Structure 1
């Protein structure tokens, strides 16, 4: 897919890790009518075997339905992503009432428009990273207890990663309160850029430098396979579900 001086290559990866069942879901959707328009989504479901999977399924279904109706020429991508978060949250809460379970989910989603601008949204501790030529440009900040401690200067990033309460979320989809949703806008993607959305089963095991190096040197397909395999080995038999969506913007040769 070539546009704006770059070629867009994308891939997803998913593995249940060392868990009995898969509650993560991941998708990379190409727009049905607009060439060069893609939506990458990662959802990490929580709430027991079927509850968590129901929640992440609802995120994917909501994202797909809204994206198919989206018009890059007339609609605002930031508004669309807000809608995905709000509508998925409501549907998950309704699922909870019907099933007597407590389904919850994170979301990390990025939308690339044909013009080369990008919007992203996240809620919970699934992350989005933006690299350029292997160097970190920006990443989303988790809605988690340990991130609040990092923000206050009470923990370093490294300490937060191994903190016993690192899995406590301050907000997500399906909870009693409305989900937090942080947005970011990239005015123009460039050749050498890479976007990655992933669940905590992936990012927990890598520094940003490691991720940048892998993503710049490997294709999205190779990178997704490598990161899943490496995260699994570093998890030493106690790893979480793993999911990631990678979009790489390569220079056009000519």
Structure 2
């Protein structure tokens, strides 16, 4: 595989950044994950962290060097993260369960498949045209699908932030798995939180990603969203790749750029990841910030549960 990748997150006007992002890859598979901890619930950043850790750990066990059942992997990984969040709540005696939205994309054999819960979004673009996207699990999207609201109201409707699906709620999440997408060199896949897509028109996002490299476009888009949001700006996070395919597809001039990652020579048992083993520290002003012992205990629980669930995913 060959691809270029860029990710960036900005705290915006909030005290704590509850967004998490990262990617893991082997010789033949690439996993992209973005989670947006829900600020209306206690410790949303911990829910997002648990989601990231669970998916990364399962990928490292299942991608040997690729995932044999990608749709099932994504669905089961989201559900396992949901259960891990509930285990964390029970272990820490929290009055409520932390919650997060999430979107993930698994790419292997020049094919992408994605899944999401909530309003963290994915866009699949080719030469500035959107070929695929997730649909938010929100009240406004429900109204649009029934013809009770116009698509132009997505950014202004008073119910645009009301979600009916997330990870960590009292009921099981409804994991929506998208169709398989056949990628071509030059295709762009963007994962982002509502802090990015909320202030920006989709046309602006696609235009910048079509006319610039992702290394230039992503920082500009994040900066624009934060500037528009002002003092009330939400956490703003984006993770994007430009696909180059295999070395046999290296007709694109971008494949010669130093920013392009090539996995062709990796051993089939090696996994590289940017997903942190422990979460970023919370701000000192956060009253309910978790301590190091809680973090280590939660991650140990995640690892133990993943060991128990590995056979289920095979």
TM-score by length of 1: 0.90
Structure 2 CA distance for aligned equivalents of residues 105 and 26 of structure 1: 12
Distance 1:208 1:192 in 2: 19
1:198 shift after superposition: 0.7
Q: Where does 1:125-164 land on structure 2 (aligned, <5 Å)?
A: 125-164=119-158
1:207-234 CA distances to partner (integer Å, 9 max, x unpaired)? 2221111112222222221111000111
How many Å apart are 1:206 and its aligned residue? 2.2
Q: Provide the residue aligned with 1:109 in structure 2.
A: 104
Local SS of the residue matching 1:106 = strand
Unaligned runs of 5+ in 1: none
Q: Deviations along 1:37-95, whole A, 9 cap, x unmatched?
A: 21111100025686101100001100110110123556111111112110001111222
Equivalent in 39, 48, 60 of residue 52 of structure 2: 60
1:174-185 map, 5 Å: 174-185=168-179
The structure 2 residue matched to 1:84, chosen from 69, 72, 77, is 77
2-structure distance, mates of 1:231, 1:196: 15
Change (3 A) 1:187 1:128: closer
Moved more, 140-149 or 241-250: 241-250
Q: Greater share of strand residues, 1 or 2?
A: 1
Matched residue, 1:252 = 252
Instruction: Say if 1:187 and 1:139 are closer, same or farther in 2 by CA, change over 3 A.
Output: closer
2:4 equivalent in structure 1: 9
8 Å contact from structure 1 (residues 58, 92) kept in 2: yes
Structure 2 CA distance for aligned equivalents of residues 212 and 48 of structure 1: 30
Q: Give the CA deviation at 1:236.
A: 2.5
2:192 aligns to what? 198
The answer on 1:98 being equivalent to 2:91 is yes
Query: Which residue, out of 20, 25, 37, partners 2:29?
Result: 37
What are the superposed Cα offsets for residues 86-115 of structure 1, whole Å, 9 maximum, x if unpaired? 0001111222223314300111000111x1
State the alpha-carbon separation in 2 of the partners of residues 176 and 164 from structure 1: 25
- Deviates most, 151-160 or 15-24: 151-160
List structure 1 runs of 4+ shifted beyond 6 angstroms: none
Structure 2 residues not aligned, in runs of 5+:
245-250, 257-314
- TM (normalized to structure 2)? 0.74
Report the aligned-residue RMSD.
1.8
